[in-house]
Amino acid sequence: MRALLDFIAKYYHWLIFVVLEGVSLMLLFQFNRYQHSLWITALTEMVSKVQAAEAEALRYLTLGRANEQLTRRNIILEYNLEQATRQIAILTHDSTGTERIQAERINGLELIPAKIVTNSIKRRDNLITIDAGEADGIHEEMGVVCGTGLVGIVYRTSKHFSVILPLLNSHSHISCRLRGSEYFGHLTWDGGNPLFAQLDDIPRHARFNIGDIVETSGFSSVFPPGIFVGKVDAIGNSDDGLSYKLRVHLATDFATLQDVCVVAQQFQPEVQELEQQSDSLIAL
Amino acid sequence: MLITFLQRTLWLVALVAAQMMVFNYVHLFGYATPLPYVYLLLIFPLGTARWSIMLWGFVCGLLCDFVSLTMGIGAASMTLAAFVQPLLLKYMAPKDAVDNMQASFHELSFWGYVRYSGILTFIFSATYFLLLSSSFFHLYDFTIAFTSSWILTLILCLAIERVRGGKHHAKES
């Protein structure tokens, strides 16, 4: 108390100065209309700023709760996104992606369209006849595909018709591989269910899973590599036990087949002639 | 003491009356308004209590505000100038000045008194016109009005001091 009195006694002129200036300014803002309006404006602005700062501070203090709610919401959304992504992957995997890859594979090849004239799936050695022949540029050993996958190979031709050896024939042996790896084998059909064929000669050290895609290997002049054939449905052993024998769910439904395309590769006749000459030399 | 008080009161009444009846009607070029009542602060001698100068200044300013309808502006300006006056006079006074030296042309020299009164009237005028405009939106008008009024006030203060000083010397001789 004494210190306070000493302080006031020492600096009393400051106190008087502040009091007199305060009174003067009070009179100024009270009795002068212009200064009064300025004072009110400044005061309002100051109060508004203080209130804004207070609101901002309150918002900041409640951020913890908001953050907790956002985290909870984020977890729910992340879960929903994961589910949706899985659904999209399931719905688009067999159609869009495969069609796109197949379109890329057959891009640049000459495709000769044809319609199915006769077809069968019940016999051991089925054959298909199409309404396009040599007059359309078709000749033997050409590949045949449809919108969903592989069909077979041209077996005999006439001027306006051709006979196709489809996958559903015991004499059909088409070189195929597992997509994403270089392991290949021969696709055959042993009768029975027309939706399934067998892929033989897959080596024992090959790594694959059920659902992996089977496509043409391109190891012949008949089909370009990458034409979709089907998916691995079951895994088994070959008769001699030295390799795998895979059951393949075929992409082509032969029971409903109507339109096909014959694949004309540019250098196919030249390659076939060379292969025949090589076979002749080996026979000698 | 009483004579000093009466003398100051007389100066106060005279300056306020002059402001009310004469100088409030002077607006040179539409800008310059003399405010010579600040002269009251110039007559306080060295060693006068600060609170006393401030009270005299405040009352003088307030009375002028009443008659000029500028409530608070003159009082605030005079109080600030009165707060500075003792420090300024102490700084401007010669080293061998007596304890109760009163500022005059004789004591501070002509230019010394011009500087002393110039600084004090500058502080007063600047505060006065700053409070009057309360903003710098019209900086050009503010500068012209403040500068011209300050110079006019300074000239009047110097003139009053010249007259007062002349009489004082005549009495002494």
Residue-level pLDDT, tens digit, chain B, 173 residues:
788 889 999 999 999 999 999 998 888 888 888 999 999 999 999 888 889 999 999 999 999 999 888 889 999 999 999 999 999 999 988 888 787 888 888 888 889 999 999 999 999 999 999 998 876 667 788 889 899 999 999 999 999 998 887 665 555 54
Q: How far apart, in whole angstroms, are the C-alpha atoms of residue B19 and residue B54? A: 20
Which residue does chain A place closest to B73, by CA atoms? A28
Domain of residue B63, residue span: 2-172
Say which residues have a Cβ less than 8 Å from residue B55's Cβ, sequence separation at least 6: A16, A20
Tell me, yes or no, if A234 comes closer than 8 A to chain B by beta carbon.
no
In this prediction, does ipTM exceed 0.90?
A: no
Cβ–Cβ under 8 Å, residues A232 and A208: yes
pLDDT of residue A99: 56
Across chain A, mean pLDDT equals: 82
Q: DSSP 3-state assignment of B151?
A: helix
Reported as half-sphere exposure (CB side, CA atoms, 13 A), residue A266 has a value of 4
The answer to whether the Cβ–Cβ distance between A23 and B75 falls below 8 Å is yes
Domains of chain A: 2-61 (no CATH), 108-283 (2.40.10.350)
pLDDT band (50, 70, 90) for residue A268: low
> Of A32, A33, A41, which to mutate for an interface test with B (greatest number of B Cβ within 10 Å)?
A32
Is A25 in contact with B72 (Cβ distance < 8 A)? yes
pTM (2 d.p.): 0.50
CA A151 to CA A145: how far, in whole Å?
5
Contact residues on chain A for B50, CB-CB shorter than 8 A: 13, 16
Interface check A38 vs B, CB under 8 A: yes
Q: Which of B73, B127, B135, B136 is best to mutate for the A interface (most A CBs within 10 A)?
A: B73
CATH number at residue B67: 1.10.1760
**What average pLDDT does this structure show over A15-42?**
88
**Which band of pLDDT confidence, cut at 50, 70 and 90, is reported for residue A113?**
confident
**A23 close contact with B: CB closer than 8 A:** yes
Q: Which residue has the higher pLDDT, B68 or A74?
A: B68
Alpha-carbon distance of A111 to A262, in angstroms, equals: 6
Ramachandran bin of A199, using left for φ above 0, alpha for ψ from -120 to 50, beta for the remaining angles: beta
Q: For residues A184 and A215, give the distance between their C-alpha atoms in angstroms, rounded to a whole number.
A: 9
Interface touch A24/B83, C-beta < 8 Å: no
In angstroms, what CA-CA distances link B153 with A42, B77, B147? 32, 14, 10
Q: Supply the pLDDT for residue B69.
A: 87
- Phi first, then psi, for residue A191 (nearest 5°) are 85, -175
Report chain A residues whose CB lies below 8 A from the CB of B80: 21
Q: Which of B52, B66, B130, B134 to mutate to test the interface with A (most CBs of A within 10 A)?
A: B134
C-alpha dist (Å) from residue A223 to A141, A146, A265, B94? 10, 13, 8, 117
| A102 token code pair | 């197949």
B79, B134, B135 ranked by CB distance to A24: nearest: B79
The CA-based dihedral angle spanning residues B104, B109, B115, B116, taken in that order and rounded to the nearest 10 degrees: -30
Interchain CB contact of B50 with A (< 8 Å): yes
| Record: contact B72-A38, CB cut-off 8 A | no
Total of domains in chain B: 1
pLDDT digits (tens, 9 = 90+) for A149-206: 889 999 888 888 899 999 999 889 899 998 877 788 999 998 888 999 999 888 888 8
Q: CB-based contact (8 Å) between B26 and chain A?
A: no
